[in-house]
Amino acid sequence: MYQGFEPKEGSQGLPPRSEETREEWLVSLLKGGMNLLAIMERRVVGHAVLLEMEDRQRCEYLVFVHQDYQNRGIGTALTQAMRDLAAGMGYSQIWLTVEAINFKAIHVYEKVGFCLVGPREIECEMVVYLQGDDEGP
Ligand SMILES: CC(C)(COP(=O)(O)OP(=O)(O)OC[C@H]1O[C@@H](n2cnc3c(N)ncnc32)[C@H](O)[C@@H]1OP(=O)(O)O)[C@@H](O)C(=O)NCCC(=O)NCCS
């Protein structure tokens, strides 16, 4: 999926343009995170990752949907599924950063329950609180 993904480096420098760096990045995600794929017609069209940040407390979230398959609900479905998985595994929150101009991603995250925390700068932080703690700390 990432070989044909465009624009490369379009979202916070990801996915990496160089094949070698992209492979290292993917190996680190596959080894260090919980990975979920969206597959259509035997082709990987979406990839979401949860990376543990603090032992069973907080994890970071990333999601990519191939440009030919965007706006069909795949990013929302992956994000909802990862939210449910993280809650089931006992995490208390999912955290992410997103470029403030990435309106589509922010819309998807908000639909699934994430809210903006902190200042809205070039990048902003978003969090969804799990375990019924909707108000957070
Ligand atoms: C962000 C991303 C994961 C979303 O995946 P997707 O499969 O296209 O998302 P969905 O189809 O589930 O939902 C898209 C929603 O955004 C809305 N949308 C589309 N363009 C939009 C825009 N410019 N501004 C705001 N909302 C927009 C759609 O209407 C839809 O909302 P709705 O279901 O309420 O109508 C995908 O676009 C992507 O991979 N982008 C590049 C990588 C990236 O930015 N990743 C996130 C940061 S790590």
Q: Output phi, psi for 107, to 5 deg.
A: -60, -45
All domains of the chain, ordered by start, with CATH? 19-129 (3.40.630.30)
Q: DSSP of 92-128, one letter per residue?
A: SEEEEEEETT-HHHHHHHHHTT-EEES--SSEEEEEE
- What is the reported pTM? 0.95
Q: How far is the CA of 117 from the centre of ligand 1 (A)?
A: 20
| Ligand 1 atom nearest residue 66's Cα | 39
Q: How far is the CA of 132 from the centre of ligand 1 (A)?
A: 26
pLDDT tens string 29-76: 999 999 999 999 999 999 999 999 987 799 999 999 999 999 999 999
Best residue among 71, 94, 124 to mutate for probing ligand 1's pocket (most ligand atoms within 8 Å of CB) is 71
Query: CA angle, corner 58, sides to 98 and 136, nearest 5?
Result: 85
pLDDT tens string 79-130: 999 999 999 999 999 999 999 999 999 999 999 999 999 888 899 999 999 9
Query: Does residue 106 contact residue 18 with C-beta atoms inside 8 Å?
Result: no
User: What distance in Å separates the CA atoms of residue 74 and residue 107, rounded to the nearest whole number?
Assistant: 13
